[in-house]
Amino acid sequence: MLTTLVPADGTVLMLINGAYGLRAKKILDIARRGVIVHETPEDTPPDLAAVERILAATPQITHIFAVHCETTSGILNPIRDIARWRRSTQRVFLLDSMSAFGALPLDAQALSVDAIAASSNKCIEGVPGLGFVFAAGRARADRRQRPPRSCSICMNQWKNFERTGQYRFTPPIHVIVSFHQALTEFFAEGGQSGRGKR
């Protein structure tokens, strides 16, 4: 998500309060993307007033990144407030929801989240091995207009799906089948709606 949707001339405001925020920063550092960090302790959400000051004082920020539920401590970050900044400042909001997706309610359209990264395991309870990104048209369109600076598995796979409906190379069939079964059980148990067979 990060190397695909953040262009080479982009700058990301990283809201960090744990190991996965730090790892995301390392990914962007290696990819040579611009990074501005707002870091708080592992048990502390972002300082909302400080973030607002950073956004107001730093017009070169193009993206805001946050971890939905930081695994290090289990802290739940204030994604509604972050989404409000996205709407008011027109920055692209990138959300790592690996440890929350499927367990916590998440209405991407209502929140105006531009991209969400999740996986087949964790709260959906499939097996590890399938990562995916939901990306809104605005986030994808910006990437299409700029030449890639990395071999993005995410972007190349998406383009191949659009063209052929198939994986580029050998698909992880056992992971896909397991994920399908996990989703079937998730929805049978009520999914995000709370309705279903118990």
Contact 168, 156 (CB under 8 A): yes
* CA separation for the pair 198, 177 (Å, rounded): 22
pLDDT, residue 76, reads 94
Domains of the chain listed by start with CATH number: 2-193 (3.40.640.10)
Task: Give every CB contact of residue 149 below 8 A, 6+ residues apart in sequence.
Answer: 7, 8, 31, 32
pLDDT in tens, the chain (198 residues): 898 889 999 999 999 999 999 999 999 999 999 999 999 999 999 999 999 999 999 999 999 999 999 988 999 999 999 988 888 888 999 999 999 998 888 888 888 889 999 998 888 888 988 888 888 866 655 554 454 555 556 667 778 778 888 888 888 889 989 999 999 999 998 887 655 443
Q: Exposed/middle/buried for 118, CB within 10 Å: 0-12, 13-18, 19+?
A: buried
Q: Which residues of 83-108 are buried (b: 16+ CB within 10 A; e: fewer)?
A: bbbbeeeebbbbbbbbbbbbbeebeb
What are the percentages of helix, strand and coil residues in the chain, rounded to 5? Answer: 40, 20, 40
* Owner of token pair 């972050």: 82
Query: Any idea what DSSP says for residue 168?
Result: S
pLDDT, residue 154, reads 67
CA-based angle 89:73:153, to the nearest 5? 60
Query: Any idea what DSSP says for residue 101?
Result: B
